[in-house]
């Protein structure tokens, strides 16, 4: 059995054991809290492990990579996330901190051939894995940027997405202020999605940046999705 598949099976087996023990053995409040945190930690570790891996094309992936991709998709639900963004055909979108493009092609498909997606990252090697847009998708441009400068043209974007990125920024508020300058005036919005543990810090930074929460979607398994705008 390939090591990746064995790892995924071990992970699932471990999670089932933890859940069974949680249901059968937990008697005290202390134990319930401990096993609850343990289950949450396993879920987060599974998603984080999968999310930090490159995202090769499915057609060329091995069975082990397929297993990891399925685990990641179950944890992240990218289809639900992109649908919740209500992207109009022709939208101009920035995928900030796009990494290897986990969401980039999905965004490009939602924007369609008349749209445009700019995928940025500090890591040029990750961006190289995104590849060209496919038939029916918006053109995709990749752009290597400096850590404190989004590198986006002013007044140009309908939607700027930061997915699992804001916790990596040295100064979230300053970065959000810079992103706001790249939005189409009166129309554009910044959407931030990340693990729920980062939600409070994001909201505080948005307030410092003078941005107002406009919408929040709560249908993702482990992530918040908040839209802010000037």
Ligand X SMILES: C[S@@+](CC[C@H](N)C(=O)[O-])C[C@H]1O[C@@H](n2cnc3c(N)ncnc32)[C@H](O)[C@@H]1O
Binding site for ligand X (CB under 6 A): 51, 96-99, 102-103, 120-123, 126, 145, 147, 163-165, 168-169
CA distance linking residue 113 with residue 102, whole number of Å:
19
Token reading at 131: 């590849």
Measured from the CB atom, the residue of 12 and 148 that comes closer to ligand X is 148
**Nearest distance in Å: CB 119, ligand X:** 9
Q: How far is the CB of 169 from ligand X (least distance, A)?
A: 5
Whole-number Cα distances in Å, 217 to 20, 147, 159, 176, 200: 31, 28, 16, 19, 15
Smaller CB separation from ligand X, 103 or 225 = 103
Nearer CB in complex with ligand X: 126/142: 126
Measured CA to CA, the distance from residue 187 to residue 230 in angstroms comes to 10
Tell me whether residue 26 or residue 129 sits nearer to ligand X (CB atom): 129
Residue closer to ligand X by CB (options 98, 182) is 98
DSSP state letters, 121-189: ES-HHHHHTT-PPPTTSPPEEEEE--TT-----TT-BSEEEEES-GGG-S-HHHHHHHHHHTBPTTT-E
At its nearest, how many Å lie between ligand X and the CB of residue 83?
15
- Return the number of other C-beta atoms located less than 10 Å from residue 218's C-beta: 10
Q: How far is the CB of 193 from ligand X (least distance, A)?
A: 7
Shortest Cβ 168–ligand X spacing (Å): 4
């Amino acid at each position: 059995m390939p090591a990746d598949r064995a790892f995924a099976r071990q992970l699932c087996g471990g999670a089932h054991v933890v859940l069974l023990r949680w249901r059968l053995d937990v008697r005290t409040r202390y134990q319930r809290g401990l096993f609850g945190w343990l289950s949450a930690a396993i879920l987060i570790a599974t998603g984080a492990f999968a999310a930090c891996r490159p995202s090769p094309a499915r057609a060329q992936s091995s069975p082990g990579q397929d297993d990891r991709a399925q685990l990641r998709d179950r944890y992240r639900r990218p289809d639900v996330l992109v649908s919740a963004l209500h992207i109009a055909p022709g939208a101009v979108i920035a995928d900030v901190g796009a990494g290897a493009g986990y969401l980039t092609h999905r965004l490009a498909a939602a924007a369609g051939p008349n749209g445009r997606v700019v995928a940025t990252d500090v890591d040029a090697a990750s961006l190289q894995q995104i590849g060209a847009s496919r038939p029916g998708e918006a053109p995709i441009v990749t752009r290597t940027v400096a850590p404190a400068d989004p590198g986006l043209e002013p007044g140009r974007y309908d939607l700027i997405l930061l997915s699992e990125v804001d916790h990596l920024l040295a100064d979230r508020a300053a970065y959000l202020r810079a992103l706001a300058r790249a939005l189409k005036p009166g129309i554009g919005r910044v959407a931030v999605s990340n693990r729920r543990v980062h939600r409070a810090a994001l909201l505080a930074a948005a307030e410092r940046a003078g941005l107002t929460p406009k919408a929040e979607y709560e249908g993702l398994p482990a992530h918040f999705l908040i839209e802010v705008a000037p």
